[in-house]
Chains A and B, each alone.
Chain A
Amino acid sequence: MRLINRHPSRSGGLMLLLLPFIVLMAVYFTGSSMRLKLNPDDKLLPSATQMSDAIKEVAFNEDKRTGEYLLWADTVSSLRRLGIGLVVSALIALVAAIATGSFPLVGATFSPFITVISMIPPLAVLPILFIVFGLDELSKVVLIVVGITPMIIRDLHARAREIPTELWVKAQTLGATSWTLVLRLVLPQLLPRLLVAMRLALGSAWLFLIAAEAIASTDGLGYRIFLMRRYLAMDVILPYVAWITLLAWLIDELLRRLTQWSFPWYGGGAR
């Protein structure tokens, strides 16, 4: 039988799914124990005990200086920045994409402009954001918005142009005005695609969040990782990275389920 026609069975599929994770863990902990055997003070590859001790310290003990549980405080600040950034970007992108995608006059004016704007590397304007918006929360959220909005607009604009001409014509023959055509055709067609675009932008959003937190912040997951780097505290950094990965995956899964649940007619979001 050809390789392309061989599919895993149900239990086999689960095994295959877990396999890379297990291999990764095995490689890591073998390496870790080998290094620790040579030098018990090695900080590069901490053992499971060292990491769980560190997690206990940051997650379940109050910080002596601030009286907070660091991991949770960091998580809350980071997720708030990320959440505000994502929602604001989504709203701006939806309005912009509907305008440029539905009205040829608006599209002719702004589409090339947005394409050019989206080429600006967001991190290059980070200093400008700090100068203009100060070093607090606002500039971090603005960096996320500046970073992902042009991408989402371009994606949604393309999706709006993909709505078949037949449907635009059909809506007009049913008596739609430009405004009601947007309300009853373009908006509902774009909403599930917006959620998909947000899932794709999630990786960049995390990137910009952690960059902003690393440079100017007093809390947040990115801030903590870059702070711990000074002490070579891999036993904190590695669990933090794993935690960020888990959060990112959970948000992605949440958006996927939201797409499926709110737009059962939409097939493209099932994956």
Chain B
Amino acid sequence: MIEVRNVWKEYGDQVVLERLNLRVEEGEFCSMVGASGCGKSTFLRLLLGQERATRGEILLDGEPLPAEPDEHRGVVFQRYSVFDHLSVVRNVMLGLELRRAKFTGRLFGAQRRAARDEAVAMLNRVGLGAALDKFPQQLSGGMQQRLAIAQALMMKPRVLLLDEPFGALDPGIRKDMHDLLLGLWRESRLTIFMVTHDLKEGFTLGSRVLVFDKVRVDPQAPGAYGARITYNIPLDHSRDSASSIHMAQAVVEGATRVETV
């Protein structure tokens, strides 16, 4: 469904990503892990359309991705993912309003009530049914991320992109968010790409783990070579035993540690 063909990303002389090739089928959950600064967030921004590849192309269903963000690709960032001037329920309604009212961006009367009902149903699914009229800054970090996920899912996107969505959360809350996300993913068969710096999180959640790393390093010119996908590990949580996943994780952990030192 998503095909990445020989993609490079360069900023001036600095090569961030080089020779990326990848095929991802519909309904996969790709965790992207790697050391900081290895280009995994850059790759996510390419998928999002926030930035363009210097060379190569990314195809969605055989068509090149549009060069700007659109409603087929939802996103949740680590911070600033929700609109602080809108209440919780208005945040989730926003996507419906923008889609259904092309000129005013606002719904009125019966249409507005219908949109509100849909938004409330979604908020109940993510456990925010009791906070409908609060403003985002009155919510905890975990609740804000639930809201951001609900807001993105409202659009029924083809692809959901997550940029370290749980990076700023406490471990306990993280566990809850993992369960929520896995539940939503299984229900909707979304295709998800998630950037994380937490290997364990990547292996627990993903159906495929992509490891980004620099293969070649020139000490005289650190920017001369970019990162590639060094491991592309499909995981089958239902079939593979937990131990084999642990083994894969240990191998990746060892490899990234050696190469980053």
Q: How far is the CB of B100 from chain A (nearest CB, A)?
A: 9
Does B103 lie at the interface of the complex (its beta carbon under 8 Å from any beta carbon of A)?
Answer: yes
Query: Which of A164, A265, A267 gathers most chain B CB within 10 Å?
Result: A265
Measured between beta carbons, the chain A residues less than 8 angstroms from B136 are 265
Q: Which residue of B lies closest to A183 (CB)?
A: B105
Does B202 lie at the interface of the complex (its beta carbon under 8 Å from any beta carbon of A)?
Answer: no
Interface string of A162-203 (1 = CB under 8 A from B): 001111011111111101100111001100000000000000
**Is B155 within 8 A of A174, CB to CB?**
yes
**Is A173 within 8 A of B155, CB to CB?**
yes
**Is A185 within 8 A of B83, CB to CB?**
yes
Q: Which of A171, A173, A183 contacts B74 (CB 8 A)?
A: A173
Q: A172-B68, A173-B157, A175-B99 are in contact. Are A267 and B105 (CB under 8 A)?
A: no
Q: Which of A164, A169, A174 contacts B151 (CB 8 A)?
A: A174
Does A127 lie at the interface of the complex (its beta carbon under 8 Å from any beta carbon of B)?
Answer: no
Q: How far is the CB of A163 from chain B (nearest CB, A)?
A: 9
Q: How far is the CB of B113 from chain A (nearest CB, A)?
A: 19
Does A134 lie at the interface of the complex (its beta carbon under 8 Å from any beta carbon of B)?
Answer: no
Q: Which residue of B lies closest to A176 (CB)?
A: B98
Interface of chain B residues 93 through 139 with chain A (CB within 8 A): 94-95, 97-99, 101-106, 135-137
Measured between beta carbons, the chain B residues less than 8 angstroms from A267 are 137
**Is A169 within 8 A of B79, CB to CB?**
no
Interface string of A252-266 (1 = CB under 8 A from B): 000000000001111
**Is B85 within 8 A of A173, CB to CB?**
no
Does B75 lie at the interface of the complex (its beta carbon under 8 Å from any beta carbon of A)?
Answer: yes
Q: How far is the CB of A156 from chain B (nearest CB, A)?
A: 16
Q: Which of A167, A174, A263 contacts B98 (CB 8 A)?
A: A174
Q: A173-B155, A175-B98, A267-B137 are in contact. Are A184 and B73 (CB under 8 A)?
A: no
Does B149 lie at the interface of the complex (its beta carbon under 8 Å from any beta carbon of A)?
Answer: no
Does B71 lie at the interface of the complex (its beta carbon under 8 Å from any beta carbon of A)?
Answer: yes
Q: Which residue of A lies closest to B105 (CB)?
A: A180
Measured between beta carbons, the chain A residues less than 8 angstroms from B94 are 171, 174, 184
Q: Which residue of B lies closest to A166 (CB)?
A: B80
Interface of chain B residues 3 through 36 with chain A (CB within 8 A): none
Complex CA distance for A171 and B58, rounded to whole angstroms:
22
**Is A169 within 8 A of B102, CB to CB?**
no
**Is B102 within 8 A of A174, CB to CB?**
no
**Is B84 within 8 A of A265, CB to CB?**
yes
Measured between beta carbons, the chain B residues less than 8 angstroms from A166 are 77, 79-81
Q: Which of B50, B71, B106 contacts A174 (CB 8 A)?
A: B71
Q: Give 5 nearest A-B pairs by CB, closest first.
A: A180-B105, A166-B80, A172-B69, A174-B95, A164-B80
Q: Which B positions have Cβ atoms within 8 angstroms of A?
A: 48, 50, 68-71, 73-75, 77, 79-86, 94-95, 97-99, 101-106, 135-137, 151-152, 154-155, 157
Q: What would 18 more interface pairs be, CB under 8 Å, given A170-B75, A170-B82, A174-B99? A: A166-B80, A169-B69, A170-B151, A173-B48, A173-B75, A177-B98, A180-B98, A180-B102, A180-B103, A183-B104, A183-B106, A184-B97, A184-B105, A185-B83, A188-B85, A264-B135, A265-B137, A267-B137
* CB pairs A–B below 8 angstroms (25 shown): A166-B77, A166-B81, A169-B50, A169-B69, A170-B77, A170-B80, A170-B82, A171-B83, A171-B98, A172-B70, A173-B71, A173-B74, A175-B71, A175-B98, A175-B99, A177-B102, A180-B101, A180-B104, A183-B104, A184-B94, A184-B98, A184-B105, A185-B83, A188-B85, A188-B86
